[in-house]
Structure 1
């Protein structure tokens, strides 16, 4: 491919058909703007788990077992906090609330449960409806209610919906959780809302309004409301971050351009980039997720860099050439640099396509497409528009202000930018040795970075920072309750302060040894699992059998007749035992752990609440290995741990692929445009240093690889290469005409000014992500800002020394003075 001929064609297009180019780009912007109206959102953790094998087992559990695991059923929790939720007025409030929800056809209620209903049935065993249960409680005296509570406390599972301070003797508890089940087609509690997220969210939002009118002291909680809060957090983060980023960007662009027309042109080009990119996502149907919030700052980073370089280089040429010739010279130099930057950046982002997680793949796709659009807009449209404005300014009253380039020779900035050249001229090898030691040390330290995937990563903090609360409307964030509610449940309910692991057992459960296998597997469990008398605390069909036997002498006799070794576990005629268990209301709950065809079962093991996610998941897998039948460890903890492992693998697979492809790309490009493939390797040195520094910074700042920061390594390559490419490519041009020392000086002073303006603008523009409401975005903003700062510093301090050593190794040092070589 003849690069020079291709660049000349673009030059001619921009200079000779300027108005046509500008009009074509504006028309395309209108086309992409149509796609903005098609953008949908995707929130929460479910989007990350769909491609994880452990999730498949979780979905198998949801298909096999009836509520709460049955597909098509979603639940809403009613959290009641009072002095005593077991008092007569409190019980009536819960029952009346459940009845008010059940009477609304649009809420599709198919069932309810609560401690209040359990007490009502103790008062009147024939009270099977909410209306009858309300009458039973209304007729009862406080003493009768207390006695009913004590009787109900003897039944398995009654206290599961009560806070841990429940006292059966005094019949008191400070909180309870009621449940309302809804028929939501295509919904699965374990697999997540999927396509029915909007329907469930709508139901739960309407339930909130009903409860607020019936019992203001009861809080509605459910996965639909969690997803609604996820969506609101995205919008609220954008409405805070985007204006703040725009403020910083405009402020620094004013300094960089120092001309209102150039400033307007740069801002319009940035806006076009965002419209093209997100219009594209709407047109092709890519949903907007939390990860895609990071795309606008990334595009702004590259767009700002391209814009400043284009304007700055054009200004450098203007004193010695006409407008048209200056733009031709600018494009001949910058189009190649922009192409190299675009190619390496696209490679860095596209490397995320190897991830096993759909949202990360989508992030890589959208970012890569966006960078391509950025190249087209800033490489073709902006130069044409700049030329058009200059022609108009010359022919009309349009004013023009400063047209001096940044960092020109003789300025304070120009002298400061030459620091790396001074070091390179005096001791280039020493500089690289120090850099090598620093890189190895930082890289070694970075191996201790943790990996994390938790629902809390996507949630807002329990209390928003004061500076956010002080913002005026419409920037003030909304009210967020999910985190505080989850913390309350974890602190006050036994089911909330522990994790659990589900072992899905597939095999003939009527085989004589089936229950014995479950019983033996519980002996001496791994440390993260909760144990009592050296046995794992679990819930299974065996625990239901044992609870039924303790309350029903006739069933106990059946179990004893079929228990050959006398350990309380039946080991023959299991079909008969199951039939007796399932035929009586007293055996309610067996369907939660045993499939109707008796071909599979699930065992749920409790784990310590403060145990590490990986340790709990590993314990679950070890428990699964103890079962003779096919058994798979699953459950949210196992799924999240699997996602965490995938994130870690994806981060380094993307890094390795991005580095390899970037190296090949740079070697081929520099061989084609400069005749030296080794310049591509020299171009890669600052990026390796930047990668090591960003990895070390992650560990020092205690920022783990998570769903968003997992992309930071490939992003560092994509954005970081931008700075070193501009230096190396400009040097290749300058070195053709002058000696090494002057070539380096002219390179750094000519390019460094634009790099400085770009760095300041993008670091502050992206740094505003720390204002985002979710911690994960704040962490991403810090890391991206640091990666750009490191890339800028290494480009100006490490690249000159690298180029001097490169010239020596290539035997190209010619006429260098003052010890430059």
Structure 2
């Protein structure tokens, strides 16, 4: 292989022009692949298509539509929701609904007027002819009236429940008969009767739309299983339609989960380039200030070309860009530039210090094999991410693995060709940089004596075990609202919804049966809704379905709910406005929708609710009840994140250890390379635990990233140490010489690697910002550990020939030992005169 590297170095330098042309063509071809990159922020990024949650939600959205955009109407100037029926307000609400209905991006629109009209239909239409809009002459024979009569009849005569129902019915009848004039929305008395129950509060059947006397919502259900672009168009359509609309007496706020996803998608398209630009700017400063060589910005140019190759190849391979992979650009810049810096610095070293006649060949022979080792270190570390349960994390692992491999190739070919032709035409006449501040700093960092190594090994094991113990106690930030830009309009609007309506999301449950218009479906859904509202009243605001709408009509304190019959379900369905029908029952009549509005809170608390609902739901034979919807998708994401978050780090360590043990032909050498990694991994958990930090869910990818960066440094240090030992130096001298010669490159590489990760903390998304801070800190600890802890361990281990043996000829090691064996002091002869 040494012959190959020597040949490659010469040929690349001699044919630098050809290399430039071929490199340009490759860049253009691969660069075109960037145009094929797609952005993914849908459930495909969070859930696996084989998962139950994914399949359930896909089926649910196929039946009842997708995510909901919410138009919150907050009454002002002393107005109440009853004022939404005033002619001016009605015109605006109806106009907004008409502008959305029938659009391909929208599955349905339910306004407060629709909900109120539905209540009016239940009160006025005959139970025998519910499709006839003509009002029943006898209110007791209306859909609502007949159900109330049945509820009374179901009670034991003379019982407390029967008396309570009769009293409530009498009050209702008195209020209804007291309505004067036409029963239309122009009659305020009629509107108040429809809105409020006998207790003066908003009727329970209406609370999914009318939260209280001053808040109501328009629900715009977007197309089910929509693509990201379709959902984005739907979100923008709702915003254009409602934002700025003057609804008399009300303030309009448009919000919803699709608005968050649109913001994230917009950020993906610009945020990655912004973070990359910041990383590049910081690296320019680092290289200009610290990297004192000719053409000091060359490594940056090389890694930028490598990044184009990497993302272009990702485009051809179909690797999507998601909320996680957005971190790929700054990370690849920070990690990848190390290869080019090492190559550039080694050429300068061979020219200035050793003054080799063929410095490019010497560099290629000594450094290129080492670069391949550290590249495989990184690839194996990132391969651990392929075992993540979250698709976007697996994609991130693939992106980084492909990226570092391509960047390594660029970092070998381009510097060898560029610096080869430079040294041929204009040889470097530099000064010896071993006495520079950076070289001295690295020598000083690694100056601990070899006898400290056993203590350091024990300390590293203790720190690692401490990290393992505390890892399970760390807390993830599981409120999705906290993951996105808190200053964005979408979040501000969503906070209004949370604060004023006490709701945040929804959990759907779709019940399937041969025919949902049956007694047993009515009984099951009614029992299911009441049971879960009772068990989880702290998480559910209310429930809404065809069944609950009419069952809630029979709510009377002191009496049990009365589930609807098949006939009552059919009558209630026939009386419902078209969009309410579509929202509640599938077109084939074999699925019914039940929606629980959830209160604000994190996914961890909601996960317990979803698990309980699944565990306690036992539908009768022939029926099924399946939780789905946005809340269930969020819980599925949380479980996937937590499933093997810690395991990914340990897998990365195991993969890298196995590779190094085989490549370096020694378990000891592999273990030595990983000691700083163990310290960094353990200390990261200990620090987070001590500071009570809430970790970003993206820290799931942080462990393998730290392993990749740290083993890159430890492998280069170890291999350079072995190289110096092969020159006949003893262990201490070998460590110091390696530190002095490579100090500049290592510190510059460390600074660029840390900045590449830390720049993510400049993101406006807390999800990314927290990741950048935590992982940037971990990388800094890892690299410091590599420079401080590995040198004395190498000295201690190789004083026993555990490092160099097998890599350095035995005669060289013996000669080195003989040359550096202390000469015994002369012993005075006992016959000598005093």
Paired with 1:121 and 1:545, the residues of 2 have a C-alpha distance of 11
Moved more, 442-451 or 376-385: 442-451
- Cα 1:544–1:809 shift into 2, 3 Å: farther
Which of 370, 381, 390 is equivalent to 1:357?
390
Q: Size of the alignment, in residue pairs? A: 738
Report whether the alignment pairs 1:245 with 2:279: yes
Aligned to 2:191: 148
Q: State the shift of 1:678 in Å.
A: 3.1
Report whether the alignment pairs 1:648 with 2:642: yes
Q: State the shift of 1:740 in Å.
A: 1.2
What is the SS of the residue equivalent to 2:40? coil
Aligned to 1:729: 719
- Cα 1:53–1:680 shift into 2, 3 Å: same
Aligned to 2:708: 718
Moved more, 192-201 or 444-453: 192-201
What is the SS of the residue equivalent to 1:178? strand
Paired with 2:354 and 2:743, the residues of 1 have a C-alpha distance of 22
Which of 156, 160, 176 is equivalent to 2:216?
176
Moved more, 200-209 or 682-691: 200-209
Which of 333, 339, 343 is equivalent to 1:300?
333
What is the SS of the residue equivalent to 1:708? helix
Aligned to 1:491: 499
Is residue 78–residue 177 contact of structure 1 (8 Å, CA) maintained in 2?
A: yes
Aligned to 1:30: 28
Is residue 624–residue 632 contact of structure 1 (8 Å, CA) maintained in 2?
A: no
Q: State the shift of 1:730 in Å.
A: 0.6
Which of 736, 743, 752 is equivalent to 1:752?
743
TM-score (norm 1): 0.79
Report whether the alignment pairs 1:440 with 2:465: yes
Q: Larger Cα Rg: Structure 1 or Structure 2?
A: 2
What is the SS of the residue equivalent to 1:356? coil
Q: State the shift of 1:205 in Å.
A: 5.3
Which of 327, 330, 335 is equivalent to 2:360?
327
Paired with 1:677 and 1:385, the residues of 2 have a C-alpha distance of 38
**Structure 2 gap ranges (5+):** 126-130, 132-181, 198-202, 806-812, 824-834
What RMSD, in angstroms, separates the aligned Cα atoms of the two structures? 4.1
Report whether the alignment pairs 1:769 with 2:760: yes
Q: State the shift of 1:208 in Å.
A: 5.6
Q: State the shift of 1:345 in Å.
A: 0.5
Report whether the alignment pairs 1:61 with 2:68: no
TM-score (norm 2): 0.78
- Cα 1:324–1:53 shift into 2, 3 Å: farther
- Cα 1:345–1:431 shift into 2, 3 Å: same
Please give the residue correspondences for 1:399-798 in structure 2 after superposition, counting only pairs within 5 Å.
404-405=432-433, 408=434, 410-419=435-444, 421-461=446-486, 463=487, 480-494=488-502, 496=503, 500=507, 502=509, 504=511, 516-517=523-524, 529-530=536-537, 538-540=543-545, 542-547=547-552, 569=562, 575-585=566-576, 592=583, 600-601=591-592, 603-604=594-595, 609-610=600-601, 612-624=605-617, 630-671=624-665, 676-703=666-693, 706-737=696-727, 738-798=729-789
Q: State the shift of 1:383 in Å.
A: 2.2
**Structure 1 gap ranges (5+):** 129-138, 167-172, 395-399, 464-479, 552-565
- Cα 1:89–1:656 shift into 2, 3 Å: same
Deviation per CA, 1:521-545, whole angstroms, max 9, x where unpaired?
678769971189xx99654554234
Which of 226, 230, 233 is equivalent to 1:196?
230
Which of 342, 364, 370 is equivalent to 1:337?
370
- Cα 1:772–1:13 shift into 2, 3 Å: same
Report whether the alignment pairs 1:162 with 2:215: no
What is the SS of the residue equivalent to 2:475? coil
Q: State the shift of 1:768 in Å.
A: 2.2
Q: State the shift of 1:720 in Å.
A: 1.5
- Cα 1:640–1:702 shift into 2, 3 Å: farther
Paired with 1:541 and 1:88, the residues of 2 have a C-alpha distance of 24
Q: State the shift of 1:598 in Å.
A: 6.2
Deviation per CA, 1:276-305, whole angstroms, max 9, x where unpaired?
122223334433222122111111122321
Is residue 506–residue 631 contact of structure 1 (8 Å, CA) maintained in 2?
A: no
Paired with 2:280 and 2:764, the residues of 1 have a C-alpha distance of 18
Aligned to 2:179: none
What is the SS of the residue equivalent to 2:536? coil
Please give the residue correspondences for 1:110-149 in structure 2 after superposition, counting only pairs within 5 Å.
112-116=109-113, 144-145=187-188, 147-149=190-192
Paired with 2:76 and 2:314, the residues of 1 have a C-alpha distance of 48
Paired with 1:481 and 1:150, the residues of 2 have a C-alpha distance of 37
Is residue 741–residue 817 contact of structure 1 (8 Å, CA) maintained in 2?
A: no
- Cα 1:303–1:403 shift into 2, 3 Å: farther
Aligned to 2:344: 311
Q: State the shift of 1:198 in Å.
A: 4.4
Q: State the shift of 1:4 in Å.
A: 3.0
